[in-house]
Structure 1
């Protein structure tokens, strides 16, 4: 694993991983019993860690930028000023602007048990700690502190916790990132308020913290064993990094601090080994149009800029939900090797395997064999399986329907489409299983499966793909491959489900849509600087009459090739070649490609004036070949 690689390179790690048999594999354990949370990690400035003077300069650069803004309705915006005030006793800011009323939208989301409220709890935990300082500039209105405490106590932390008859919980608890965020929030809520009785469960805070700990360690063990289910996500890797840092810095449990630091090393190494000129240049298990058309829109951009500083564009938001809290970190520092890998100029190849393979097309039987002992019919494994996105697998239908019935999951906003698919089959589990098995290439659109990724980097250009991944099948949020020169000059292909959005909002798209996801996955292969992507859908309108209406894909494939962001574009036959700053990207289409014209008053162009949408009409089957090179 990556942690072992870092250790082998001679970098001081904040602990080790001891093997344990049975489900979950390797178990994160504290290497030195009796140590405290403050001394379990190698201290900042130690040999093997990132240079501390450099790190402090990066903190200053971000805080100098971010504290020019007042965002008192945003917990990260508040935290930015509190962090600066803790660092600089002479710093002054409008601390009286932090009021209960300013945070009204945050309270509403939490009080109504809306989805992603766990994100705001994560940021409020920092406000709660930083805002109870001992100076005027680090002591926020006590009413805000009380409001946070009230909501920590009143929150529901598990999908199977008691649910009042008059309430609906809309939180999606089950993705890889939500799982660790919710667990980290539960542990810290219990730590902060150990003697309080929490409303939903009747447990004390201390009991909640005790309940959360083994599940946090289990999640970390999964990452050591299986990698990341949401592999290389330029959206959700940030949502793994932020809760892990929060545990490193705010937990009072040394074992949790150490395990979280180990997992954090893995996250940062993953980013570093796929980092190029400000871009997280990897295929992404999950992403969206709003995040992938330019590196500056990715949730990982600001943190990459902060940690690696290898691109000219500046920070893009003063409320970056990852960078902000790294500026407050006192215990954790990244290994120097991570920084060195990110800044490597020599050509590199990175090959990785993430996730779990399951054949959703296998014939239905009463006892499907589950990999690694995670039985499909054991509700204790629901969090694991749903975090793979496999909610549409027939193997999980019995357990999924039973749990959804038992805990009223159908009523949540996030279950609307799933509920419709259940109702089409009259709620009959056997019919659901048969339908899912026959239409696995469509209904299992969220399954992240096993991702074998390959990335090639040079100083001037990068190329990365996920190899032979669910070929011909639909994926709702995947990003298959990408060739990259810098934050803006990038190329990738796509089989669209919908037509281009009739909107001037650049981020608007479906899931899958015109740029987001894939209506059908290509079969991809790559060796160093060359890759081939063969599109051949495994389903069509004859597969299922109902699904043909809901999931009617476009009769073409296309490429994003933004001419505005290259120094030169040349077309030779079916080749389109872009050049910039010593890097070259060449793309070939078997079907004759043509530029699609956009009217910016009808379809968003993000300010681009030259065509960027290279369409290969004539059918959804096509072959695209990409080769990257340098002027050397």
Structure 2
């Protein structure tokens, strides 16, 4: 593979397209497939482009499940690709792949494990070890990944893009892992992903604050990557399945049956408050993940994409040099600090603190999420998520209205790099240039954006504005009056109050300034009367903003002080949540067991005992 030393990135549109082959549906029906589609995946795998690992899973599905329906020549091509693939960062060869994010790690480990099991006695040409050795190499990594999800939740929290990838890998383990303990634990983690989507669904869509979310999916839940899974699991959505998606591996999974309790939670009527803790902050991870070697701490930090934080930079550079990653499209700019005197001096953490690189915001850190799910709307946010720090793809808050209408706000960012591998976030609608302070209580979100924080290395020109996505042409009524915006969709209402004047521009509302404060209030006809009644009740007299403080007076007075607490009627409210605090499941962080319940249905996970019990 040394001939690929000048590998270029094909761009997101290519990488995220056709991760499976559409005519796999024919194979599932006992018919022949269009094998040119399979060979296209094989070519992508052989090129070692980013997201090749997704295609490897689809090739493995074909080989495990449908070998008798595939021609000998195509099977030989698949086998050659699997034997020649690079399954991990420490293997030789040039590539353009991202191995390390939360979803990629479980996909690579699953691919290596199942490819090794499929060809145990063959020599894999990239590193000249046998399939059995590859299987044994991947096994502890899979178990570690599964265990960390059970204890700490998902780093890429509530992601309506990357949950699709996680679930696809788990489906392959559930169907084909030779070890029952791996199958059982993979099934439990699959349950937790399905539960997360069940708790945060509105009108069948998975809509919530998120650790990683892109523009199309933020603006319209119909574009979410998990929609085929949601339709299959909960039966609410009504669309044709897309068999070119990697979620096809879930649709065709034979050994996972959604527990009835999770389906009932998805379909439950009523109003629910759902609080969760997902992941860890970088500092916490360095204290809790042992041993502090590449495979344990190093790869957890890289799942978080915490490359250039003061707490992680020394580990990053050690891995970068030991595994010879100077060619990698995503990591190549680490060469600028890869100087022997810096590495030996121990001053890298201090240097990073001084430079204040915008890349530190790429790290996806602990999320305490709050969701208010009602029959009329779903409002969701992450509490106190590193306000004033740089952002990347984190989606801080959103509300979903009837008819699949999303509203949210961002501080528009600009990508730190311009190459195709890294030029898509943060951007005008993806993530934030600077994260806001954010808290929520039921139907109300309070926000403070402080754009005065010191500039950072690699930060592009900072915009002194905040904007809201609001598709006005899809609203039934709109009222904009100075600092107050009120909209109606069917029988649901949204009021946006600010200390700055609102500017309407196509499908957005702009607010200009360096310190901006907001209250977002949701209402509905059942509780608030008519739209006219709601407009009359939501006056700016309820809203107060001074300095770095914002308050809203409803039934109770909510007050948010920037980096200094959230208060309800002057009582400080903790935004440090347990693993689960919901009507359906409650658990502290780092649980040993989890119990999911609704009405008379119960599902219990005893993770370390490899026991999944219903009733």
Q: Equivalent residue for 1:292? A: 218
The superposition leaves residues 481-535 of structure 1 with CA deviations (integer Å, 9 ceiling, x where unpaired) of 0011145311100000249xxxxxxxx9831110011011111110111110111
How much has 1:627 moved relative to structure 2?
1.3
The superposition leaves residues 584-611 of structure 1 with CA deviations (integer Å, 9 ceiling, x where unpaired) of 2222222111112xxxxxxxxxxxxxx2
Q: Secondary structure at the match of 1:170?
A: coil
Distance 1:224 1:485 in 2: 31
How much has 1:73 moved relative to structure 2?
7.6
Distance 1:73 1:575 in 2: 44
Q: Equivalent residue for 2:63? A: 128
Q: Equivalent residue for 1:17? A: none
Corresponding residue to 2:480 among 571, 575, 583: 571
Report whether the alignment pairs 1:592 with 2:501: yes
Equivalences for residues 597-616 of structure 1 within 5 A: 611-616=506-511
Corresponding residue to 1:622 among 508, 512, 516: 516
Q: Secondary structure at the match of 1:337?
A: helix
Corresponding residue to 1:464 among 354, 366, 380: 380
Give the TM-score normalised by structure 2: 0.77
Equivalences for residues 218-237 of structure 1 within 5 A: 218-237=144-163
Distance 1:181 1:382 in 2: 18
Distance 2:154 2:343 in 1: 32
Q: Equivalent residue for 2:78? A: 148
Report whether the alignment pairs 1:191 with 2:126: no
How much has 1:296 moved relative to structure 2?
1.4
The superposition leaves residues 80-122 of structure 1 with CA deviations (integer Å, 9 ceiling, x where unpaired) of 221133xxxxxx5xx36314xx445433322222211100001
How much has 1:272 moved relative to structure 2?
0.7
Equivalences for residues 408-427 of structure 1 within 5 A: 408-420=324-336
Paired residues of 2:116 and 2:133 also in contact (CA < 8 A): yes
The superposition leaves residues 56-95 of structure 1 with CA deviations (integer Å, 9 ceiling, x where unpaired) of xxxxxxxxxxxxxxxx98633132221133xxxxxx5xx3
Report whether the alignment pairs 1:182 with 2:112: no
Paired residues of 1:557 and 1:621 also in contact (CA < 8 A): no
Equivalences for residues 334-483 of structure 1 within 5 A: 334-359=258-283, 370-374=286-290, 380-420=296-336, 430=346, 432-440=348-356, 442-483=358-399
Q: Equivalent residue for 2:594? A: none
Paired residues of 2:414 and 2:425 also in contact (CA < 8 A): no
Distance 1:358 1:384 in 2: 10
Q: Secondary structure at the match of 2:331?
A: helix
Q: Secondary structure at the match of 1:409?
A: coil
Distance 2:58 2:243 in 1: 14
Distance 2:379 2:336 in 1: 39
Distance 2:116 2:203 in 1: 41
Distance 1:280-1:620 versus aligned 2 partners, 3 A rule? farther
The superposition leaves residues 425-483 of structure 1 with CA deviations (integer Å, 9 ceiling, x where unpaired) of 98787554323223447331111111000000111101000000110111111100001
Paired residues of 1:495 and 1:556 also in contact (CA < 8 A): yes
Gaps of 5+ in 1: 1-71, 86-91, 134-138, 361-368, 500-507, 597-610
Paired residues of 2:208 and 2:381 also in contact (CA < 8 A): yes
Corresponding residue to 2:230 among 301, 304, 326: 304
Q: Equivalent residue for 2:433? A: 519
Distance 2:434 2:345 in 1: 27
Q: Secondary structure at the match of 1:290?
A: helix
Distance 1:515-1:421 versus aligned 2 partners, 3 A rule? farther
Paired residues of 1:131 and 1:140 also in contact (CA < 8 A): yes
How much has 1:359 moved relative to structure 2?
4.6
Distance 2:481 2:235 in 1: 37
Distance 1:184-1:429 versus aligned 2 partners, 3 A rule? farther
Paired residues of 2:98 and 2:104 also in contact (CA < 8 A): yes
Distance 1:616 1:302 in 2: 37
Paired residues of 1:376 and 1:396 also in contact (CA < 8 A): no
Gaps of 5+ in 2: 1-16, 416-421, 527-615
Distance 1:354-1:573 versus aligned 2 partners, 3 A rule? same
Q: Equivalent residue for 1:57? A: none
Distance 1:429-1:294 versus aligned 2 partners, 3 A rule? farther
Q: Equivalent residue for 1:11? A: none
Distance 1:73 1:571 in 2: 43
Distance 1:380-1:330 versus aligned 2 partners, 3 A rule? closer
The superposition leaves residues 313-372 of structure 1 with CA deviations (integer Å, 9 ceiling, x where unpaired) of x247342321x2233222110111111111122000100001112359xxxxxxxx9321
More strand by share: 2
Corresponding residue to 1:583 among 492, 495, 515: 492
Distance 2:451 2:291 in 1: 31
Equivalences for residues 19-418 of structure 1 within 5 A: 75-85=20-30, 95=32, 97-99=34-36, 102-133=37-68, 139-161=69-91, 163=92, 167-311=93-237, 314-315=239-240, 317-322=242-247, 324-359=248-283, 370-374=286-290, 380-418=296-334
Q: Equivalent residue for 2:612? A: none
How much has 1:417 moved relative to structure 2?
4.1
Distance 1:377 1:252 in 2: 28
Distance 1:358 1:251 in 2: 32
Give the TM-score normalised by structure 1: 0.75
Paired residues of 2:42 and 2:55 also in contact (CA < 8 A): no
Distance 2:358 2:283 in 1: 14
How much has 1:582 moved relative to structure 2?
2.0
Q: Secondary structure at the match of 2:157?
A: coil
Distance 1:311 1:427 in 2: 53
Distance 1:535 1:359 in 2: 24
